Structure 1
Amino acid sequence: MKVVCVLILLITLLKSETARAQGKRTPDSVNVLIRLHPRSAKNPRVDSVLVIFDRFDHTGAGIVKRIYHPTDNQFSIPHVPEGKYFITIYCLGFYRDVFNDQLFISKRHSNNLRYKLKQSEEYVPGTFIPDMEIDFTNLAITNIKAFR
């Protein structure tokens, strides 16, 4: 009788421990929020963005490779696995820019990425970019003092 009671207690104890362990399981992926901050109010909104996440150790190329349409110059990427990534962001549409970054994504860190947009100006017809004048006598190659 004692053996049966001990076996029943042992079995219930093992079952309750496995159920509690399954309840503690933490997610293996996180959400990443990317914000694109304009430096001036004249900058246009970003229409669409191509995002590429490549693993740092080259075990997964293009874990995230998708086009997003930001609202208020911010967007969220769901279910990104933890790890170190090479991040490439291409701004498409009227405003064009490229951001390259190397970052560690984990659930312990704040996964809010911020990138500052460069100032852009609209093209006005009838204007032109002036020619740059290069002084060949003042280059480092032709300067005698650079070789001393």
Structure 2
Amino acid sequence: MSIYRTTRRIALPLAVLTLAGAVVAAPSDPKATRQASFKKMGAAMKVLKEQLAGGSPAKPGMLAAAQTVAATARQQGALFPAGSGAGTDALPAIWTQKATFDAQMAKLVAESGKLVTVVNGGNVDAIGAQFKVVGGTCAGCHKQFRADN
């Protein structure tokens, strides 16, 4: 048996198990999933900030980071089911002011989608401006719905 076949026999099941684990884990613990997702989003925002601060941003890296922010934003709203705030910085206002929270999440989705569009356009000034809008959207939600702000 060749090394290629052996590797393929090992790698394929591992990949399937990894993906299955991710799919199964997400719905069973929305609190852990949303915390991990917010960390992922924060890391992507840091990449964008560093790229913009560096003076000559690399489009592929910025695009990947912007896409991560947008994809994560699209998932976050569903990760706040009732009763999932205990032991976190999530304020009760998320659930008592659900319509306001949902509007903030929708704004994050829209603004992060625009970020992907402007990164694709390549205009550094436009990217910087939209990055600030997305950051402001995050900060606005944190101020209203997060305890450790």
TM-score, normalised to structure 2, is 0.24
Q: What TM-score do you get using the length of structure 1 for normalisation? A: 0.24
For the pair shown, which has the larger CA radius of gyration, 1 or 2? 1
